Amino acid sequence: MFPPSELPAVSSGPAAARLSFPGQAESLCYDSKRVRFCSAWGPTLTARILKGAEFRDQIYAELRVELDALRAAGITPGLAGVLVGENPASQIYVRNKIAACEQLGIFSAKLTPSASITTDELVATVEGLNRRDEIDGILVQVPLPPQVDAKRVLETVSPEKDVDGFHPVSLGRLVTGRPGLVACTPAGCMEILRRSGVRTEGANAVVMGRSDIVGKPMALLLMHANATVTICHSKTRALPEVVRRADIVVAAMGRPWMVAPDWLRPGATVIDVGTNHITNAGEAERLFANHPERLEAFRKKGSALVGDVHPGAAEVAGAITPVPGGVGLLTIAMLMANTVKAARLRRGRAAGAPHPAEAARF
Ligand code: GUN
């Protein structure tokens, strides 16, 4: 992958970047993977699509080797998923996490307390899971109902079973560069960067969003990988200008198609963490005004899933993750990796070498 600083002269428009090669014929394509179309106007950049399935399959293949070693030592890692209430998006996420366990032969238990559960009751549920030896990882799907003190519940998860990486102890380990369980979505973003050969050292990285789950740990991981990191949020001034300086953009604001193509530096790597479920017809009509096929699909299905980055970004970026089919798959893969890691650390230190992604993390 070419770092943006090595790009030839570029003049960028709102939706497409054109490379100009003074005195050279239009057929010149300096990177056959990226420049797919050479028009009379010059070649148009088309981003490499960083497909989550490819990286997930690599990680699963590596995990299977580790799981075999654990099983030979009599250990089957186990994950407990706690799904409170009936939030449809959470139901899908937890179902997909349990399905991944089944695919890999990880033991799973799903607990589904009612939406009216109290903080004390949920704390007691988590304490029960802390005591179960066959459970190596505990995930409490968030958001939780408003009457529940989410922080207290998440702090109840034993740090050694904190496969979500949400516990202050896990975050503290990350801040100080100690090995530990890292939040799955940012860990998955780092896997995408590493496995697709994107150089982080010395790169300007912009993280959009400052949540405890994604933005903050993401910024720390990029900093540990020697990037120069800027964290943007709702109060950031001149946001497009800040984003335009980035070699690596991680978009995690939860705002549908907020990042416009002309916010991006041509050739930048774009990691789209957005998973925005559109169910409102008015919003769909506004968003898909110039995308009749997307509007048609929305009308048939009654919903659509879109990222935080406008699809036109693929004409400007050097590499980009799709939504769906990008980061989301890695979030689940890293949850599996964390569960296996938690099992090995807690009950089977002797059972095999660590997963390569883990060794590469710090
Ligand atoms: N809700 C949205 N993302 C996540 C996640 O990664 N873990 C949990 N537990 N809940 C979530």
**Residue 142 Cα to ligand 1 middle (Å):** 5
Write the residue with the smallest CA distance to atom 1 of ligand 1. 142
- Residue 19's pLDDT is 39
Helix, strand or coil for residue 213?
coil
* Ramachandran sector of residue 64 (left: φ over 0; alpha: ψ -120 to 50; beta: rest): alpha
pLDDT tens, 189-220?
A: 999 999 999 999 999 999 999 999 999 999 99
**Residue 185 Cα to ligand 1 middle (Å):** 8
| Mean pLDDT computed over 96-102 | 98
> Quick one: 240 exposed, middle or buried, by C-beta within 10 A (0-12, 13-18, 19+)?
exposed
Is 57 a catalytic site residue? no
Query: CA gyration radius for the chain?
Result: 22
Closest ligand 1 atom to 164 CA: 7
Residue in 338, 356, 315, 228 with CA at minimum distance from that of residue 15 = 315
| Mean pLDDT computed over 215-243 | 98
Is the pLDDT assigned to residue 122 strictly greater than 50?
yes
Report residues whose beta carbon is within 6 angstroms of any ligand 1 atom: 139-142, 164, 184-185, 213, 331
Measure the CA dihedral 14/16/19/24, to 10°: -120
Mutate to test the pocket of ligand 1, among 153, 157, 213, 276 (most ligand atoms within 8 A of CB): 213
| Mean pLDDT computed over 140-162 | 98
Mutate to test the pocket of ligand 1, among 96, 139, 305, 332 (most ligand atoms within 8 A of CB): 139
Neighbours of 25 (CB within 10 A): 7
- Residue 330's pLDDT is 98
Question: Residue 348 — very low, low, confident or very high, per pLDDT cuts 50/70/90?
Answer: confident
Q: What is the mean pLDDT of the chain?
A: 88
Is the pLDDT assigned to residue 277 strictly greater than 50?
yes
Is the pLDDT assigned to residue 22 strictly greater than 50?
no
Is 301 a catalytic site residue? no
**Residue 38 Cα to ligand 1 middle (Å):** 42
Question: Residue 317 — very low, low, confident or very high, per pLDDT cuts 50/70/90?
Answer: very high
| Mean pLDDT computed over 292-312 | 97
| Mean pLDDT computed over 170-191 | 97
Is 147 a catalytic site residue? no
- Residue 44's pLDDT is 59
Question: Residue 341 — very low, low, confident or very high, per pLDDT cuts 50/70/90?
Answer: very high
Q: Given the DSSP bridges, would you call strands 319-320 and 48-49 parallel, antiparallel or unpaired?
A: parallel
**Is the whole-model pTM more than 0.95?**
no
Is the pLDDT assigned to residue 26 strictly greater than 70?
no
**Domains recognised in the chain with CATH numbers:** 9-45 (no CATH), 48-53+183-328 (3.40.50.720), 73-180+330-346 (3.40.50.10860)
* Ramachandran sector of residue 40 (left: φ over 0; alpha: ψ -120 to 50; beta: rest): alpha
Q: Give the tokens for residue 239.
A: 């946001």
**Residue 243 Cα to ligand 1 middle (Å):** 26
pLDDT tens, 130-144?
A: 999 999 999 999 999
Among 136, 162, 164, 247, the active-site one is 164
Mutate to test the pocket of ligand 1, among 83, 141, 275, 276 (most ligand atoms within 8 A of CB): 141
- Buried b / exposed e over 102-116, threshold 16 CB at 10 Å, is eebebbbbebebeee
- Residue 349's pLDDT is 63
**Residue 310 Cα to ligand 1 middle (Å):** 24
Measure the CA dihedral 224/226/228/229, to 10°: -20
| Mean pLDDT computed over 316-330 | 97
Is the pLDDT assigned to residue 185 strictly greater than 90?
yes
Q: Given the DSSP bridges, would you call strands 304-306 and 276-278 parallel, antiparallel or unpaired?
A: antiparallel
Q: Are 161 and 345 in contact (CB under 8 A)?
A: no
Among 136, 141, 162, 247, the active-site one is 141
Q: Are 268 and 246 in contact (CB under 8 A)?
A: yes
- Residue 353's pLDDT is 57
Residue in the block written with tokens 């089957």: 76
